[in-house]
Amino acid sequence: MSDNVVISVKNLKTYFYTNERCNRAINGVSMDIKSGKTLCIVGESGCGKSVTATSIMQLLPKLSRIEEGEIIYHSGDERGDIRIHELERSSKEMRALRGRDIAMIFQDPMTALNPVYTIGWQISEMIRSHDKSVSKAEARERALKLLTDMGIPNPQKRIDQYPHEFSGGMRQRAMIAMAMSCNPKVLIADEPTTALDVTIQAQIFELMDHLKKNYNTAIMMITHDMGVVCELADDVAVMYMGNIIESGSAEEVLDHPTHPYTKALLKSIPILGKGADQDINPIKGSTPDPYKRPPGCQFEPRCDYACEECKKAMPDEHMLEGTHMVRCTRYQEVMKDGK
Amino acid sequence: MANKAKEKEPLLTIKGLKTFFPVKSGFLGKVQSYVQAVNDINLTIYKGETLGLVGESGCGKTTLGKTILQLYKPTEGEMIYEFADGPRNLEKLDAREMDEARKKIQIVFQDPQSSLNPSFTIYQSLSDPLKKFGVKTKEERRKLIGDLLEAVNMRREYMDRYPHEFSGGQRQRIGIARALCINPELVICDEAVSALDVSIQAQVLNLLKKLKEERNLTYIFITHDLSVVEYISDRIAVMYLGRIVELSDADELYHHTIHPYTQALLSAIPVADIHHEKNRILLEGDVPSPMNPPSGCHFHGRCKQCQEICKTEKPELKRYEINGREHFVACHFAEENIKRVCQGE
């Protein structure tokens, strides 16, 4: 199993500093990204899912730092294991890694694409900057093939068009084409379909499934939508206030949620087809201020199972069957209560 | 549900409504063409119901909502609202009468951040409409606003705070409180929960349901999220490029989906249930531009059932009955689809 792991993150802590205050955006996150699998990271806004992705890409803003922990990229070739957390943000090694080995697609393709260059130019630039031996004509040829692969209609014409001439769904396809241009081993997708309509979202999902199967790409998908998780995920990690509070395979986590937060989250979404009679139970309160975190378990103030012990310290990781991990002191009771 | 149909009283009847926006260009601003945002809509909203309005972005659902409020002037058609003293066309009202009408119809916007004035306290924001509509003394207004905030599960003291001191979910609840402060009959919720996190979304949805019971409200619930709309609505209207393609009771729409577009839309939604059977119908291409919509049935370019007739003739929204329940569909092959769907059961 371990030889499938492309990126392993161990006990990662990323902190942000503003005005002498420190936001512990990620506070001890561990996970493995495996080739040919989709890992979905799910959580509400502000829980640290995007920070996890930007930490891996070393795209963090200036006033933030990886304090502790490691991110190791298993390149599988002569470069061996690369310790990403030790590289400088703008170092040559990191720049070589970004795009070629680990590529990222963003939520809003309009702001991620350069409006003054054609789509074809932008994809060719990416190819040529990572492999100097490719000629311009060759790069264009490859860009054309990529656009065709990503299902863009009429690629011959589209390649010379500017981003504003593309529709939202097509821009996202162009972004994916650009990300896939160097055959990366890992694709990090940060809410790639949040800005898109559902019918277009379905098209993008189909495309990502295709990438996973045909290119054996490891996909790390960040989302806030439990529906997306159920559709796409092989593995799931649920985040809350900077910690992964539950993780495991999709069946384990979604069928037998063992953390009160996961359980409450699943209960709070209306499910299509169950009509107006279903009960949806909101989670009480709201997410705490990141500068005034609860001392113990982060979910304790909103949790139905909270007890004295929860207020003292963040619970340890408890391993259940298989790969199922949960961070809750009273997980046995939660489990007994069923779904 | 079936016996409910008898006591239905219309509140707002929309007939042949069209809202077009001119596209101007050139030095003299000559009108080149029109964006046909809302194109020939017939719809009746009954007292006490929640009508869900769903569709993809650019299908005209928000324009329809704003046209009802007379924030946009309709190009054609009429909207007849049942006032206490008899039905009247909203468009024909003069300014003073429109004020009266606005008392009855209110809106909750998508983004609570941008719809609240950041330099006003909550009290200031909420007291303006009260002042306008006749609550003269400050004490009365403070009492009323306090009651309202409590009705939306917030504390009375919050009225002297500024919008930035609240979280997104709280701000949305203030937006709802503002819409309710003059006791409206019809509330248009334009993507009222779309910007909220899931755990907060459920709070607001349940609040809307509760308020509807307590205050006898009628909602037009505009959203792109079909799971939400199914949970909150009595009836659902599906829009595509300015037209309604399917309209029926919420559960009926899900159990007997007739229009090919609705079928694709429903199948495309990721369901938060891992055992849900996935039977995705993939649509090709994008929604065409409303500036230059396709001839005939607007959906024909992306439809699997497309025939010659779809390209030339516009299908009307017709009434059908499935197991005794009404179902409106605008499709040339509706009857065929009804048969197929019913056989599949």
Q: How many CB atoms lie within 10 A of CB A239?
A: 24
Q: Rounded to whole angstroms, how far apart are CA atoms B284 and A6?
A: 34
Please tell me the predicted confidence (pLDDT) of residue A282.
Answer: 85
As a whole number of Å, the end-to-end CA separation of chain B is: 21
Q: Which of B50, B152, B197, B228 to mutate to probe the A interface, most A CBs <10 Å?
A: B197
Distance from CA of B251 to the nearest CA of A (A): 6
| Axis crossing angle, helix A119-130 with helix A92-100, rounded to the nearest 10 | 130
> Quick check: A206 and B282 CB within 8 A?
yes
B333-340 contacts, C-beta under 8 A, 24 or more apart? B333/B305, B333/B307, B334/B258, B334/B259, B337/B258, B337/B259, B337/B260, B337/B305, B338/B256, B338/B258
Q: Rounded to whole angstroms, how far apart are CA atoms B76 and A174?
A: 40
Strands A243-249 and A64-74, by their bridges, are unpaired
Residue from A180, A170, A278, A150 nearest B273 by CA: A278
Please tell me the predicted confidence (pLDDT) of residue A287.
Answer: 81
Higher pLDDT, A105 or B6: A105
A chain contacts of residue B231, beta-carbon cutoff 8 Å:
270, 274-276, 278, 280
In this prediction, residues B211-230 reach a mean pLDDT of 90
Six token digits for residue B197: 């996190």
Taking the model in full, what pTM does it have?
A: 0.84
- Please provide the average confidence, as pLDDT, over all residues in chain B: 87
> Quick check: A250 and B282 CB within 8 A?
no
In this prediction, residues B111-134 reach a mean pLDDT of 87
DSSP A321: S
Residue from A121, A196, A143, A319 nearest B269 by CA: A196
Largest CA distance in chain B: 68
Please tell me the predicted confidence (pLDDT) of residue B119.
Answer: 93
Q: Rounded to whole angstroms, how far apart are CA atoms B313 and B304?
A: 17
Question: pLDDT band at residue B2, thresholds of 50, 70 and 90?
Answer: very low
Q: Looking at chain B from residue 223 to 252, which residues have their Cβ under 8 Å from any Cβ of chain A?
A: 224, 226-228, 230-234, 250-251
Q: Does A202 touch chain B (CB under 8 A)?
A: yes
> Quick check: B230 and A206 CB within 8 A?
no
Residue in chain A closest to B254 (alpha carbons) equals A273
Query: Residue B107: pLDDT above 70?
Result: yes
Query: Average pLDDT per run of 10 along chain A, which is 339 residues long?
Result: 80 89 89 93 88 92 89 88 89 90 88 92 93 92 91 89 89 90 91 84 88 91 90 92 92 90 89 81 83 89 89 89 90 82
Please tell me the predicted confidence (pLDDT) of residue B162.
Answer: 92
Please tell me the predicted confidence (pLDDT) of residue A18.
Answer: 83
Three-state DSSP state, B93: coil
| Axis crossing angle, helix B260-268 with helix A198-215, rounded to the nearest 10 | 50
- Provide ipTM, 2 decimals: 0.78
Q: Which of A47, A200, A272 to mutate to probe the B interface, most B CBs <10 Å?
A: A272
Type of residue at B240? Y
Inter-chain CB pairs, A–B, below 8 Å: 134
Q: Rounded to whole angstroms, how far apart are CA atoms A179 and A102?
A: 9
Q: Pick A270's closest partner by Cβ from B167, B170, B228.
A: B228
Find out whether B261 and A197 touch, Cβ atoms under 8 Å.
no
Find out whether A160 and A118 touch, Cβ atoms under 8 Å.
yes
Q: Rounded to whole angstroms, how far apart are CA atoms B248 and B292?
A: 28
Find out whether A247 and A238 touch, Cβ atoms under 8 Å.
yes
For residue A221, give Cα distances in angstroms to A163, A292, B260: 24, 29, 30
Q: What is the DSSP string of B216-244?
A: T-EEEEEES-HHHHHHH-SEEEEEETTEE
For the beta sheet containing A243-249, the strands, ordered from the edge strand earlier in sequence to the opposite edge, are: A102-105, A186-190, A218-223, A38-42, A235-240, A243-249, A325-326, A318-319
Please tell me the predicted confidence (pLDDT) of residue B345.
Answer: 65
Residue from A310, A313, A312 nearest A330 by CA: A310
Q: Please write down the HEC assignment for all residues of B17-81.
A: EEEEEEEEECCCCEEEEEEEEEEEEEEEEECCCEEEEECCCCCCHHHHHHHHCCCCCCCEEEEEE
For residue B334, give Cα distances in angstroms to A143, A195, B245, B315, B331: 43, 32, 11, 10, 5
B chain contacts of residue A264, beta-carbon cutoff 8 Å:
199
Question: pLDDT band at residue B7, thresholds of 50, 70 and 90?
Answer: low
Three-state DSSP state, B200: helix
In this prediction, residues B52-79 reach a mean pLDDT of 90
Q: Rounded to whole angstroms, how far apart are CA atoms B244 and B330?
A: 7
pLDDT tens figures, A79-129:
888 999 889 888 898 998 998 899 999 888 888 899 999 999 999 999 999
Burial class (CB in 10 A: 0-12, 13-18, 19+), B25: exposed
Please tell me the predicted confidence (pLDDT) of residue A1.
Answer: 45
Q: CB under 8 Å to B319, separation ≥6 — which residues?
A: B326, B327, B328
Residue from A264, A321, A240 nearest A42 by CA: A240
B chain contacts of residue A203, beta-carbon cutoff 8 Å:
282-283
Please tell me the predicted confidence (pLDDT) of residue A3.
Answer: 63
